[in-house]
Structure formats: structure tokens, C-alpha cells
Amino acid sequence: MTEVPKRKSLTDPTAMRALAHPARLAILNRLQAEGPCTATEMAEVVGVTPSAASYHLRMLAKYGFVEDAPDRGDGRERLWRSSGPGLSVSPDPDDGPDVRAAKEFLIKAFRDQAADEATRGLEALERESRQWREAAMFNRAILLVDAEELRWLNERIDELLAPYKTTVRDRADAPAGARVAEAQVSLFPRARRRPHGIPRDS
């Protein structure tokens, strides 16, 4: 079995804040999902001007998130692709204040984008075939685990998903009918809720 390359772990606060821009996250998401494209093609998808798309792509390249892709033969337009097998950002107890704040900012941006993608998927589900509707799942589970078990679950889920990621799987090897899908996984200890108290009658 081919070894799946590890995702790049983000620790540079400047790079994380640069990536957290909504347009740049959308650009990176598009490159990871569909493969290389030009700034002009990206502009149509993201909803920005070609010059803005080009600027955002250069900023992503500056921090190593995207890179030049082989041209299509005519060499007239610059092609871009995502670099590496993907990204990972997780809080660490040893993070300094700047790194912690940048990670929280980027994670929130990730979650906002993911929530938007899930909403669009849910709204479009009724137009999917029966096969795809039955395959889709929107699941939430409340767990009772210790820290080591939560870490173990995270690693096992990541190992299970890794070979199917668009940044890893060769499209030529995928079965007929394969298309881009999305898995959203969040594992975290729930924060204790403060009681609201009983509302008073007005």
C-alpha cells in the first residue's frame, strides 16, 4: 500500500492570518478539489476580478500554500496548483499568544467555510440521485472518552480518510462515477455550559 504523505502543520502566525482571508480559502479549496487552474478561471469561481485572483494566488504562493503547475502546452497562461497533501492546524499547549490567536482565527475561518459548504450540500441533496442521497450523512455524536482515546479516534479517522483525499488520490485510479465529496470532522472536549437560570416573568 502506498504511504500517504503527512499534511503540513501550520505554526507561522503570519501565514495563518494570510490564509484566513475568505477569498484565499476559497481559492485553495478550489485547487484542492478540482486541480490546477489559471487566475482567470479562478476569478469566475471565487467571484473576484482576475487581477484580485492573481494577487491572492501570489500571496498563497508566498507562504507555500500554492505553487506553479505544469502548463497546458501553449504557455500563454500561468497555471497554479495546491502544494502538498493538505494542511493541518491544531492548538498546542506550547503555543505562544500570537500563534494561539492566529490558530483560533484560522480555525474559525475553516469552520465558517465548512458550515457554508455543508449548508449548500444539504440544500442541494434533494436534487441528487437516490444513490448519492443514501450515501450522504450529516452526523453528530456525543462521546464519553479520555484525552488519549480522543487522540486515537482523531488519528484513526485521519488514516481512514487520507487515501481518498483529492490531494492524494490519483483521479485516474478513482472508480467511474467518483466525484468530489467532503468530510467534516471535529473532535474536541465540550466546554461546560453555564446555567442560564430561570427567566423571570415580565
pLDDT > 90: what percent of the chain?
71
Q: Quick one: pLDDT at residue 195?
A: 76
CB 77 within 8 A of CB 65: no
Nearest to 81 by CA among 121, 33, 119, 31: 31
Grid coordinates in use for 98? 500570537
How many other CB atoms are found less than 10 A from the CB of residue 176?
4
Quickly state the pLDDT bin for 167 (edges 50, 70, 90): confident
Q: With 50 as the cut, is the pLDDT of residue 115 above it?
A: yes
pLDDT digits 0-9 by tens, 90-113: 888 889 999 999 999 999 999 999
pLDDT digits 0-9 by tens, 1-55: 445 556 667 889 999 999 999 999 999 999 999 889 999 999 988 899 999 999 9
Distance of CA 174 to the CA centre of its chain: 21
Grid coordinates in use for 6? 503527512
* Domains within the chain, CATH numbers bracketed: 8-172 (1.10.10.10)
